[in-house]
Amino acid sequence: MICLMRRLQNLHPGRKFGLKLRSSSTSATGTLPETKCNYEDFIDNRQQQAKCSILVQVSSERSYPELYNYCSRFGSIVNAHHYCLRHDDELNYILLEYAREEEASAAIDAGGVSDEMSGTPVRSPFLWFRASTGKKKDNLSSSTMPHPGLLSIDGCRPIGQENLLSLLKKAENIDRQIVELHQNSQLNDLGVRMRFLAALQIQQAISGMFPSAQAVPFGSSVNGFGKMGCDLDLILRFDKERGAKNNQRTEPSRLIYHLKENLSNGRSQTQRQMEVIGDLLHLFLPGVCHVRRILQARVPIIKYHHEHLNLEVDLSMSNLSGFYMSELLYMFGELDTRVRPLTFTIRRWAQSCGLTNPSPGRWISNFSLSCLVIFFLQQLRQPILPSIGSLVKAADADDFRVTEDGINCTFVRDLERLNFQSRNTSKLSELLLQFFEFYSQFDFHNRAISLNEARSLAKPDHSAIYIVNPLEQLLNVSKNVSLEECERLRIEVRNAAWLLESEVENTSVKEGTETIWGLLNLFKHPEKTIIRPNMFFKPRMVEVSDLFENGMSTTATPPAGVTYKNPSIRQQVQNIKASTRNELKQMRGSSSSVTSASAAAASSSSSAPTSSKNRRSR
């Protein structure tokens, strides 16, 4: 029973409970889904679900029957999830969803304050189930009321590395590996619920003064590319009109609110407001800790950690184009079932070879990487995705969206109206290989990538990688990427193309073996979550030693006699082999001095600051 419940935790974000969402297909070849879900409906439904929910800390999942009995007095509980956070102790939580918003409100309103806790009382959906006192306990005994089972137990624990690897080893083929990877690491239903509850907490905290303010998740938490444990990007919107929908009001009111005039400089206004919001979060909101204000950045943000949700949150107030960009990514994911598994695999590959890093820097971001995947799928001879230009062309008056700072985010929202149907029937494994081959040869030096036009353009400046920002076409999404990181990307895509080509050709059955094969060969490097300045050539050298057929490496040596379809890759592999032989020869010549130098470098880098996630000491 428990196993069954655990398996439920991996349901797709939108698969359940009457949400107007399609179920995600696991087919390895893509077809247009029968019903496509509109992004705004998805967001609205999830926001509504959060309003019907409360989160209660309990001593263990065994408290559920008693909690269910107690909380049923406020309304009808439609489902419940359990999760556990492991710090010094185990902290257990149950997320309850009521049928109606008023029922959840009644439960929250009934909350009291404990003498055991200090702090200013604040109303929020984050509660604690105090042990029952003496006599009353009998009334709450678990036998008094039948209760539905928990939908998940320990439901936000990501799949362990070992389990994932073993699943991938057992898969029938690379296509199945890609699907398994996606299904087992994507953000699940509970993860989405928790993120919308974090958003609601902010919204409710300020609702007295700003009743129409909305805290809305965007980024990987909602765009379909998020994995378990991903950060939450939140935008706090004070604009009353959410999209064109709300413009259809019958008659404008004649009673107008008096307002406090804005400062003349909009940016400093936002910074000042964010400072105040940051203080509010820091001083009053339960669960919110480690609040940091990063107000000088292009997009000022407040970062914090939510300890009841175990969540890193980036809150912004002026990043509406980021929100609409998430809508575009979401729509691309909805258009073809291959897009998300493929992007997941490529993100995972990039992480495992140290191309991406959780902290921002001169490396490529997950967002830019997703743009590379989308562009690749757009420019195929039989495109799998349409250009953004064609989405803009298909827009009508209902799709009109312009941000406060004048960025035009108008594109068709109704995918049926787009009338795009791909005739490409390639399998995921083929697409993955083609992706690596495509970027092995892409002329990053001279060409820019345009998702708007689905073709490359002459590069307008000397950035190492130029991806035209789809919503602000004068900007480069990957402006941060250094030349070295671009070079590493090129080397890694070549290596991956080479490894995968031999895997795809070598399709003998591997089921049940202990051999590292398929995707596992791409992921074989230990995850490098911290990039240190002096690490630049390290991953490459470790990998390139695998190129030697005759026993220099014990892992993943390509089978002898592999032929490369692509002559340019064949030539590149030959060149890499030759130059690496020379490099290794030289290194062996001066091995003693190199060893002591690299030992010194390694010891100094191990004390380098870690990412904020690793630094946290809870």
State the residues that interact with ligand GTP by CB under 6 A. Answer: 218-220, 223, 225-226, 230-231, 233, 321-322, 325-326, 329, 365-367, 469, 471, 477
CB closer to ligand GTP, 98 vs 466: 466
Q: Does the CA dihedral 503-505-510-513 come out positive or negative? A: negative
- The amino acid sitting at 132 is S
Largest CA distance in the chain: 85
**Strand-by-strand arrangement of the 53-58 sheet:** 77-86, 90-98, 53-58, 126-128
User: Measured at the alpha carbon of residue 218, what is the angle toward residues 471 and 350, in degrees to the nearest 5?
Assistant: 80
What are the phi and psi torsion angles at 385 (to 5°)? -130, 150
CB closer to ligand GTP, 324 vs 564: 324
What residues from 170 to 229 belong to the interface with Mg ion (CB under 5 A)?
219-220
- Binding at 326: pick from Mg ion, ligand GTP, none (beta carbon under 5-8 Å per type): ligand GTP
CB closer to Mg ion, 233 vs 543: 233
Between the two ends of the chain, the Cα-to-Cα distance in Å is: 32
Interatomic CA distance for residues 221 and 231, integer angstroms: 7
CB closer to Mg ion, 75 vs 191: 191
Least CB distance to ligand GTP at residue 208 (A): 29
Least CB distance to ligand GTP at residue 570 (A): 34
Packed helices 174-185 and 428-441: angle between N→C axes, nearest 10 degrees: 90
Least CB distance to ligand GTP at residue 453 (A): 16
Q: Where are the alpha helices (DSSP H) in 172-265?
A: 174-185, 189-205
Least CB distance to Mg ion at residue 218 (A): 8
**Minimal CB distance to ligand GTP: which residue?**
219
Least CB distance to ligand GTP at residue 294 (A): 13
Least CB distance to Mg ion at residue 314 (A): 7
Q: Are 99 and 78 in contact (CB under 8 A)?
A: yes
CB closer to Mg ion, 63 vs 469: 469
CB closer to ligand GTP, 124 vs 345: 345
CB closer to Mg ion, 233 vs 437: 233
CB closer to Mg ion, 271 vs 365: 365
Which residue of 44, 231, 430, 472 would you call a contact of Mg ion, by CB under 5 A? 231
Q: What is the DSSP secondary structure assignment for residue 38, as one 8-state letter?
A: -
Mask: binding to Mg ion, 371-410, rule CB under 5 A, as x and -? ----------------------------------------
Q: What is the CA radius of gyration of the chain?
A: 26
Interatomic CA distance for residues 124 and 126, integer angstroms: 5
Stretch that binds Mg ion, among 24-32, 203-211, 232-240, 514-522 (CB under 5 A): 232-240
- Binding at 442: pick from Mg ion, ligand GTP, none (beta carbon under 5-8 Å per type): none
* 3-class DSSP string for 292-310: EEECCCCCCEEEEEECCCC
Least CB distance to ligand GTP at residue 474 (A): 12
Mask: binding to Mg ion, 233-262, rule CB under 5 A, as x and -? x-----------------------------
Q: What share of the chain is helix, strand, coil (3-state, %, to 5)?
A: 45, 10, 45
- Binding at 218: pick from ligand GTP, Mg ion, none (beta carbon under 5-8 Å per type): ligand GTP
Residue 170 CB neighbour total at 10 angstroms: 14
Least CB distance to Mg ion at residue 220 (A): 5
CB closer to Mg ion, 102 vs 231: 231
- Binding at 321: pick from Mg ion, ligand GTP, none (beta carbon under 5-8 Å per type): ligand GTP
Residue 404 CB neighbour total at 10 angstroms: 13
CB closer to Mg ion, 319 vs 378: 319
**Minimal CB distance to Mg ion: which residue?**
219
- Binding at 365: pick from ligand GTP, Mg ion, none (beta carbon under 5-8 Å per type): ligand GTP
Least CB distance to ligand GTP at residue 128 (A): 30
Interatomic CA distance for residues 14 and 191, integer angstroms: 11
Q: Are 213 and 200 in contact (CB under 8 A)?
A: no
Least CB distance to Mg ion at residue 357 (A): 13
Least CB distance to ligand GTP at residue 356 (A): 7
CA of residue 4 relative to chain centroid, distance: 26
- Binding at 366: pick from Mg ion, ligand GTP, none (beta carbon under 5-8 Å per type): ligand GTP
SS3 for 56?
A: strand
CB closer to ligand GTP, 356 vs 572: 356
* 3-class DSSP string for 349-387: HHHHCCCCCCCCCCCCCHHHHHHHHHHHHHHCCCCCCCC
What are the phi and psi torsion angles at 436 (to 5°)? -65, -40
- Binding at 307: pick from Mg ion, ligand GTP, none (beta carbon under 5-8 Å per type): none
Interatomic CA distance for residues 330 and 332, integer angstroms: 5
Interatomic CA distance for residues 243 and 254, integer angstroms: 22
CB closer to Mg ion, 441 vs 611: 611
Least CB distance to Mg ion at residue 365 (A): 9
Q: Is 345 left (phi over 0), alpha (psi -120 to 50) or beta?
A: alpha
Interface with Mg ion by CB under 5 A: which residues? 219-220, 231, 233
